[in-house]
Structure 1
Amino acid sequence: MSSKSPSLSSSICVLAPSSVARLSGLCLLFSASLLLGMNSSQAAQAEAPTLDNQKFNACLDNLVQTGPFAGVKDTFAQYRPQQGDPSVLESLDYQPEFAKEPWDYLASLVDEERVLDGINASNQYADVLARIESEYGVNRYDVLGVWGVESDFGTKLGKKDVVESLATLSCFGRRQSYFRGEYVSALKILKQGDIDKADFKGSWAGAFGQTQFMPSTFLQLAQDFDGDGRKDLVNSQADALASTANFLKNSGYQPGQPWGYEVRLPASINAKNDRKNKQPISHWRSLGLTLTDGSPLPDSLASAGLFLPSGKNGPAFLVGRNFDSFYAYNASENYALAIAHLSKQIENQDTNVEFATAWPTDDPGLSRKESREVQESLNLLGYDIGEVDGIIGDGTRRAIQKYQADNGLEPDGKAGKKIHQHLMDSSAKLRQAAQQAEADETSLESESSIATGSSSSAKNAEAKSDSSGFLQNKSLMAIAISLLILLAIIIVSRRRH
C-alpha cells in the first residue's frame, strides 16, 4: 500500500451511488480516525502548525459577505470563533482508513470488546432497532456496525468544536470551498435549533453525533425518530440510528440481503480484486468458489463482486450492494469491511473476530486490550506514554520507537503482535512486582477494615489501635519492600539500555 496520503476529495466527498447522486453535497467524513492514532512517520516528525490570526479574521470578514452566508449572518456573528484551531490542519492529509494495512486497521475497530459492546447495544436498543428495521428496511446489525465503527457506540463523539474546526478549514489548507459549504450547513443546524452549541463537537473535519454526520448530510438525511421535534444526533440514539438507516437506504441498500460473505478461492482461479464487477452467484459457483467451510455459495445475494483486500493470499469476499452502501458512508474499502465484519460478529454473537483465512502478515495488528498492555509495559519500563487508553497514537509510537532503538530493534514505531510480545516479556518482572504492590495495598485496606470493626469498649479500642498499628506497619513494610524491588528492577533495566 502506498504511503502517500490520498487526495482529500477521495476521502471526504462520498462517491454517491445513482440513487443519491441527486443529493447535492452529500458528503460524510469518516471519523473512525477518532478511535485510531497517527502513523509512525508522523509520530516522529509531526509538528503543530501555526495560524495567522489576523489572516483568519480577515478571511471570516470576507466569508460573511458572500452569498452562501446570507441567511445565517446573525448565527455567524453569534458563534464566530475568536481564533482558528491549528490542530485540525495536522489531520487534513492523513486518514488511517487509507494509510493503514487492512489487518492493522481492523484490529482495534473489530475486537472482542467492541463485539460484546455491540451485543449489549443490540439488547438495550432492541425496540428502537426493530422499528428502524421495519421503517427503513435496513438490517439492525448493519446500523449497529456503523455506530460501533464511527463512535464506539456513542462513547467517542469527538471533542473538536465543529464551528471552530470548519471556520479554520474554510480559511486554511486544501478544499476550502468544500469546508465553507459545511460551515454554512453547520450554522443552519444551529439556527434551526436541532443541536445545542455546547453539544456541537465532533471530529477535526466537522463530522458529529453518534454516527458522525457531516453538517450538509445532516440537513438532507437526518431524522427525528423519537418525535421530540428535534433531529438530535448527539443525544438521541433513536434519531442517530434512524438517520444512519436513512443514509444507507438512500445509498442503494437492498432489504433482506446480506452484505456478503467470506469465500474460499480455488487454487486455479486468476482472481482480480474488483468488487464493482457484480456477477450472478451462479457465475462464481462455476469458477469453483465456495464458502470457507467448503459448502456451496448461498442464493442470499442476487449478484456479487470479488473483494480481495490484501490480494489473493489473504481473506477473500463476495460482496453485494449493501457493502457498497457502507462504502458510500465513507469512500474506503477498509472502512466498509470494518462495518461489515463488526455487524456480522454482533449478529452471530461471535467474539472470535479472525477471518477463516489469515492475513498475509507475520505481524498482525493489536486489539484494544493488547494496545493497553503495550502502553502499560512501556510505562513500567520507563518510557512514559501518559494515559493508558488503548489508543496507539503519537506518544505511544514515539515511545515504541525509543524502546526499539534501545533494544536493537528496527525503530519503525509499529504497534503489532511482535512488539507486544517483546514488551510483555521485558516487563514481566515489573508487572509482577506492580501486581504484588497492588495486592499488598488491597490487603492493607482489608486488614485495616477488620481492625476498625473491633469492640467499641475502651480496652478493646486500645487493643484495636495496637493491632491496627501493627497490621498497618506490617503492610506498609511489605509495600515498601515491593517498591524497593520495583525500583531496583527499573534501575537494572535502564542500565541495560
Structure 2
Amino acid sequence: MRKTNYRFVVSLLLGMVVSFAAAQSTETDDADFRQWRQALIDEARERGISDTIIEQALVNVTPIPQVVSNDRNQAEFVETLAQYLEKRVTDWRIQTGRTRLAQHRPLLEEIAREYGVPARFIVAIWGIETNYGNFTGGTDVIRALVTLAYDPRRADYFRRELFSALDILQEGHIDHANMKGSWAGAMGQSQFMPSSFLNHAVDYDGDGRRDIWTTEADVFASIANYLRDAGWQPGQRWGRQVTLPQDYQQRADQWSQGEVSYSCSVLRRHTIQQPVDQWQMIGVRQHDGADLPQSDIPGSIVLPDGDAGPAFLTYPNFRAILRYNCANNYALAVATLADSF
C-alpha cells in the first residue's frame, strides 16, 4: 500500500480552509453591501427619486473594485510637477488647443465676455480634463459613486454626490445609460462632479438641458461659470514662476496658511497671501531674476515639489482653478497649457 503523503494532505486541507474562509468573507461582504444598498434605495425613494430611475440605476448595482484602488493612487499627488506636465502639456495638446481656439473663437469670445474668463483658460481646462472632448470616460457614473459611497474613506462626500447624480437623472438632463464619466464620477466634457453640475452647469444654447456631454456651447459656458463662481478675477494673471531669497526657509514658518475653512485642502501648503509688492520687498523675483511688477494683487508662494523644486507666486485666479481640482499640479498644468496658446 502506498504511504500517505501527510504533508500533501495537510496542505490540501489548509487550502480548503482558506478557500472556505474567503468564500464566507465574500458572502458576508455581499450581504453587508446588499443591506447598505437597500438602505440607499429606501432613502432615494424618500427623496422623491422615481421608481423607474431606482430600478435602472440602483436595484442591481454592484461595486467596482478598481475604483477604490484608483482613489488611493491619484496622479496629482504622487507625480512630481515635471512628470505631471510631461504627460499632460504635450505638443499635441498645445497644437490641438490652438486649433480648437480658432475653430470656436466667436462662441468662446462671446462666453469670455459674459463670464469674464479668458477663452484660453476655458479651452485649457477642456483640454486637460477630456482631451477637448475626445475622452470623457466610459464608467457608469452611478456605479462608480455607489462604490465610493460604500467605501468608508470618503463615504459621506460620495454619498452626497450620488444623490446629486440621481437628481440629474430625475431632472432629465441625461439618461442613466448615457451618464458615463470617470472612475470618480466626474461627467461630460467639463468633467463636473454631480454637485458641480447642479450648482454651475449652464444651458447656454437654451434647449432646456444642461448638456455637458455633447453640446460645446454648454460645455464652455459651464466651465466659465464654474471659474467665475470660484472667484475668478477678470484681467488678472494666474501667477508666475519665481526665485526665492536665500533666507526664505527661515521666514517660511511664519507664513503657514492653515486655511481650514477653505474647501481646497492644498492651500494649507501655501504661504500667507500678501501683496506682490511685499513679496518684492522680501526678495522674491521673477524666474529670470527681474523685479516683480508693481502690484497690490495678493499672492502666495507654492512649492509643488517641496523646497528643492520650482517656486511659484500664485494669485486669486490660481485658487479659482484649484476649486476645479484641488491639486497644485493640476492647476499648474492648466495655467501652463493656457499660457502656451
TM-score (norm 1): 0.56
Instruction: Flag the 1:229–1:59 CA change in 2: closer, same or farther, 3 A.
Output: same
Letter in 1 for 2:232: Y
Letter in 1 for 2:58: R
Q: Deviations over 1:323-380 (max 9, x none)?
A: 011111122111111111111112xxxxxxxxxxxxxxxxxxxxxxxxxxxxxxxxxx
Does structure 1 conserve the Cα–Cα contact (< 8 Å) formed by 2:200 and 2:222? Answer: yes
Instruction: Flag the 1:255–1:78 CA change in 2: closer, same or farther, 3 A.
Output: same
Q: Which residue of 1 aligns with 2:218?
A: 239
Does structure 2 conserve the Cα–Cα contact (< 8 Å) formed by 1:88 and 1:165? Answer: yes
Does structure 1 conserve the Cα–Cα contact (< 8 Å) formed by 2:140 and 2:179? Answer: yes
Instruction: Return the offset for 1:67.
Output: 6.4
Q: Which residue of 1 aligns with 2:280?
A: 285
Instruction: Flag the 1:177–1:275 CA change in 2: closer, same or farther, 3 A.
Output: closer
Please state whether the residue corresponding to 1:71 is helix, strand or coil.
Answer: coil
Does structure 2 conserve the Cα–Cα contact (< 8 Å) formed by 1:89 and 1:173? Answer: no
Does structure 1 conserve the Cα–Cα contact (< 8 Å) formed by 2:276 and 2:298? Answer: yes
Q: Which residue of 1 aligns with 2:100?
A: 121
1:338 paired to 2:315: no
Instruction: Flag the 1:198–1:301 CA change in 2: closer, same or farther, 3 A.
Output: farther
Partner residue of 2:146 out of 167, 170, 185: 167
Instruction: Return the offset for 1:158.
Output: 0.9
Does structure 2 conserve the Cα–Cα contact (< 8 Å) formed by 1:57 and 1:83? Answer: no
Instruction: Flag the 1:207–1:141 CA change in 2: closer, same or farther, 3 A.
Output: same
Does structure 2 conserve the Cα–Cα contact (< 8 Å) formed by 1:301 and 1:320? Answer: no
Q: Which residue of 2 aligns with 1:317?
A: 312
Instruction: Flag the 1:178–1:279 CA change in 2: closer, same or farther, 3 A.
Output: closer
Letter in 1 for 2:327: S
Instruction: Return the offset for 1:80.
Output: 2.7
Distance in 2 between residues matched to 1:180 and 1:248, nearest whole Å: 25
Instruction: Flag the 1:83–1:301 CA change in 2: closer, same or farther, 3 A.
Output: same
Instruction: Flag the 1:126–1:102 CA change in 2: closer, same or farther, 3 A.
Output: same
Instruction: Flag the 1:227–1:251 CA change in 2: closer, same or farther, 3 A.
Output: same
Does structure 2 conserve the Cα–Cα contact (< 8 Å) formed by 1:206 and 1:215? Answer: yes
Distance in 1 between residues matched to 2:248 and 2:60, nearest whole Å: 61
Percent sequence identity is 40
Distance in 1 between residues matched to 2:45 and 2:115, nearest whole Å: 32
Structure 2, unpaired ranges of 5+: 1-25, 256-268
Q: Deviations over 1:277-315 (max 9, x none)?
A: 122222122233332333332246612112222344432
Instruction: Flag the 1:115–1:133 CA change in 2: closer, same or farther, 3 A.
Output: same
1:224 paired to 2:203: yes
Letter in 2 for 1:322: N
Letter in 2 for 1:265: L
Instruction: Flag the 1:263–1:214 CA change in 2: closer, same or farther, 3 A.
Output: same
Q: Which residue of 2 aligns with 1:250?
A: 229
Instruction: Return the offset for 1:171.
Output: 2.9
Partner residue of 1:79 out of 57, 63, 81: 57
Please state whether the residue corresponding to 1:141 is helix, strand or coil.
Answer: helix
Distance in 1 between residues matched to 2:169 and 2:65, nearest whole Å: 23
Q: Which residue of 2 aligns with 1:61?
A: 38
Distance in 2 between residues matched to 1:258 and 1:139, nearest whole Å: 10
Letter in 1 for 2:302: F
Instruction: Flag the 1:86–1:314 CA change in 2: closer, same or farther, 3 A.
Output: closer
Instruction: Return the offset for 1:60.
Output: 2.0
Letter in 2 for 1:150: E
Q: Deviations over 1:238-265 (max 9, x none)?
A: 2122111111111111111010112233
Does structure 2 conserve the Cα–Cα contact (< 8 Å) formed by 1:160 and 1:203? Answer: yes
Instruction: Return the offset for 1:121.
Output: 1.4
Superposed CA RMSD = 2.4
Q: Deviations over 1:41-78 (max 9, x none)?
A: xxxxxxxxx79555433322221222675210422123
Does structure 1 conserve the Cα–Cα contact (< 8 Å) formed by 2:303 and 2:312? Answer: yes
Distance in 2 between residues matched to 1:81 and 1:65, nearest whole Å: 11
Distance in 1 between residues matched to 2:61 and 2:127, nearest whole Å: 33
Instruction: Return the offset for 1:178.
Output: 2.3
Please state whether the residue corresponding to 1:229 is helix, strand or coil.
Answer: coil
Instruction: Flag the 1:264–1:175 CA change in 2: closer, same or farther, 3 A.
Output: closer
